[in-house]
Structures are given as structure tokens and as C-alpha cells.
Amino acid sequence: MLRIGLTGGMGAGKSTVARSLVERGAVLVDSDVIAREVVAPGTVGLAALVAAFGADILAADGSLDRPALAAKAFATDEARQTLNSITHPLVGQRTAELIAAAPADGIVVQDIPLLVENGLAPFMNLVVIVDAAEETRLRRLVEFRGIDEADARARIAAQATDAQRRAVADVVLDNNGADGAVVAEVNQLWDERLVPFERNLRIRTPAARPVESPVVEANPEWPAQARRIIARLAVACGADAERIDHVGPTAVAGKPAEDVLDIRITVADTAVADALRDRLADIGFPPVTADPSADGERLHANTDPGRAVNVVVAARA
């Protein structure tokens, strides 16, 4: 299955995008919904919170009084760590259950408000950010959600910055326009990128490319794009990768080149290179040929039709 990480600042319109993706057939895994579900009345999570913070965090009906919990849980670093030690494993377990239940050919959209803050981008096949100017977001929060402006500004300031979100974004959806205008972008993304990406990933075949890619002007985004790819490869390779480097023409600042990122993974020996074959295919970088080249290098290419990447796995010895 294809895993999409979806995030955006408060008021950016993430819910609109998530709803549109579900209408096209995506399986939605909503972190906010899960976070409420695991501490609902009668759950192990709520019982653990009461044991840790006291029965006065409960409302009269036995549900969690969130402001009362927040007053205690965010009073000290130790209390916050206690809260996280209770809720994070439960959220993680439930998230894993929902993903495991999705169909093998599913496109799973994980709606994660704190995706950037929690460093989850490298674990996704693709990260989609819903973007809107801060003043636009503030207006929406005040007008449509009834949030006090000062409170809205404080909440926005506590989240990742726009620059931090864009640094991990493979796709940025502009939602500064009229209500619903972003839906057209979502539909194009679904048809032209997500559906073929899922198919390529499932059957382990690289995305189609022209026989010869034209040389284009240097793209200042190439280094950031390479860093995102390298982060995903690092998760898959773990300690088996001695080095992962952006190499080739797109690694040279200001130089025109074919719009293909070249990444080189250096490993200890050919046995390690062979062991990485399936792990790389699992995250969307299947081998191009069955056998290594004459010098022992293994060539992989990615399954994402929206970003051409070649990965060479080279044994040091």
C-alpha cells in the first residue's frame, strides 16, 4: 500500500483535502480521531490517565476533561512525559492496526497535525502539505471556528513554521484561494501521481520515464528533494548503509542537468547490498535489473511518477 503523510498548519484546510482524498478512495487514518478514541470512557488509556493524574481530570459524565488534564499534564516536563508515555504507545498501536486493516492496494492517508514536529516524514512514501498564508489561516480560525485571535496566533506559533513544513513536503497544495478551490489540485494529484505511484509500488516496477530526459536549468529545490529521499532511504537501510549521498549532475549547484536525482548508498560488501534489495523495493525503490553491473553496483529506481530518482548501491569492498 501507499502511505501518504498529510499535514498543514491550523486553518490551512487539511480537513478539506483529507475529505476530498477519501471521496476519491483513500483510506483515512486521522491522528486526532485516534488520540480521542484511545482515551474514551472505558478504555485502558483513560484508566491510565486517571491513575497518573487523579480522578479530577474526569468530567461529570466520566469522560476526559481535557482542560483539567492539560492543566496538570503540561505543568512540568515530567508530567508531560508521563502523558506522552501513556498516550503515544496507544496511538501508535491503533494507527498500526488501522494501517494493517487497509487493503493491499490501498492509498492510506495519515492525517497527522504534528507530522513535522514528531519527525515522521521519512516513514511516509510521500508527504503532502496543505499551505495557506498565516493571515488567511487566522481569519478562518476566527470566523469559522470561533477561536479568539490571540489564542489562534499562540496556537500557530506553537506549531512548526511554514519553512519547516515545506522542507519535508513532496507536494505543496496551495489553499489560499476560494473555499473548495484546492479540490481540483487534489484530484489532479490523485489521478496523475498517487494512483500510478501505488500501482508501481505494489508491483515493484519503476515509474515510466522518457528514454532521454531533457537537460533543464538548475533547480534550487534539488538539494532539498534529495535530502527527503535520503531520509527515507536511511530509515530503510538502517545501520547497513555506511553513507548515503546526493551525487551526479543535480548535486552540482547552478549546473543544468537532467531532472533526475542520483543517490549513492555505500555499504560494506555485496552481501549487504543484496540484503537491501527487498527493503528498498518495499519503500518504492525496486531494482532496475536482476543482476548487478560489472563493477558490482546495484541500480534501483523509484516508483513515484512525480520525482525521478536513481539509487546506486555500491559495495566498499
The reply, when asked if residue 47 is annotated as ligand binding, is no
Residue found by looking up cell 531532472 in the block: 259
**Ligand-binding site membership of 42 (annotated):** no
Cα–Cα distance between 209 and 288 in angstroms, integer?
13
Q: What whole-number distance in Å separates Cα of residue 200 and Cα of residue 243? A: 27
* Cα angle 107-110-114, degrees, rounded to a multiple of 5: 155
H or E element, residue 169:
none
Say if residue 110 is exposed, middle or buried (CB neighbours under 10 Å; 0-12, 13-18, 19+). Answer: buried
Residue 3 pairs with which residues in a beta bridge? 108
Q: Does the annotation flag 72 for ligand binding? A: no
213 is in an annotated binding site: no
- Helix runs in the chain, H state only: 14-24, 31-37, 44-53, 66-73, 77-101, 134-144, 149-158, 162-168, 182-189, 195-203, 222-237, 270-282
CA pair distance 115, 30, nearest whole angstrom:
12
Query: Would the annotation count 14 as a binding residue?
Result: yes
Per the annotation, binding residues for ATP are 11-16
Residues annotated within a binding site: 11-16
